[in-house]
Amino acid sequence: MDEASFNALAEAELQKIEAAFEAAELDVEVQPGGVLQVEFEDGSQMIINRHSAAREIWVASRLGGFHYRHADGHWIGTRDGEELWAALARLASAQAGEAITLHS
């Protein structure tokens, strides 16, 4: 996938992620370059962004850093094969200390 195609695909996914976190009533700020900064009630943050050189979406949370590559219509974790949306819900729930449901 070329860089322009990746950026368009990743940007569309980041917009869906932003909307899902807002629908879950979490505070989301979009930083320059399309970086999503999600803030939780305890002041902790989750950062979600695209990494064009690696063609990945990166997530940094209290539980660590995770990378996702696009394959067969899904963003899949490079280490564990977990789908991005399942991971986001799991990571957000752990960070919030309560179940967070996200809808793509």
Give the ranges where 1-104 is alpha helix by DSSP (H). Answer: 3-23, 84-96
Q: What value does the mean pLDDT take over residues 62-68?
A: 97
- Compute the C-alpha angle 93/95/97, nearest 5°: 65
In a 3-state reduction of DSSP, which class is residue 27? strand
Structural domain boundaries in the chain: 3-96
What stretch of H or E contains 83? none
Question: Tell me: the pLDDT tens digits for 19-57?
Answer: 999 999 999 999 988 899 999 999 999 999 999 999 999
For the whole model, what pTM was predicted? 0.93
What's the confidence (pLDDT) of residue 78? Answer: 97
pLDDT at 99: 95
Question: In percent, how much of the chain has pLDDT > 70?
Answer: 100
Strands lying side by side in the sheet with 45-51: 27-31, 35-39, 45-51, 56-61, 64-71, 74-77
Q: What's the CATH number for 3-96?
A: 3.30.920.10
